[in-house]
């Protein structure tokens, strides 16, 4: 899993590193929350995407609240 080194937001970087260290040893594809269907693959995808967007910088990224619904 990626190492988040986010000098612009060290609290976010540290939180992402903690989440990554929790997700990394999980068996591939395991369902973490049966009610929502959240899986290890979902969290890994989110972390990879977050890492990529943090490395590219904030320019051009839209902020989407976590409470947004379809």
Q: Are 51 and 2 in contact (CB under 8 A)?
A: yes
Q: What is the pLDDT of residues 24-41, one digit of tens each?
A: 899 988 999 999 999 999
pTM of structure = 0.64
Residues of the chain with pLDDT > 70, as a percent, come to 67
State how beta strands 31-33 and 38-39 pair: antiparallel
Q: How many CB atoms lie within 10 A of CB 4?
A: 21
Phi, psi of 23 (to 5 degrees): -75, -40
- pLDDT bin (cut points 50, 70, 90) of residue 47 is confident
**Whether the predicted pLDDT of 1 surpasses 60:** no
User: Of 20, 21, 23, whose CA–CA distance to 32 is shortest?
Assistant: 23
How many residues belong to the chain? 70
**Whether the predicted pLDDT of 67 surpasses 70:** no
């Amino acid at each position: 899993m990626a190492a988040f080194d986010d000098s612009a937001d060290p609290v976010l970087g540290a939180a992402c590193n903690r989440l990554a260290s929790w997700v990394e040893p999980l068996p591939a594809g395991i369902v973490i929350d049966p009610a929502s269907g959240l899986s290890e693959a979902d969290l890994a995808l989110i972390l990879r995407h977050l890492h990529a967007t943090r490395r590219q910088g904030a320019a051009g990224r839209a902020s989407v609240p976590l409470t947004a619904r379809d």
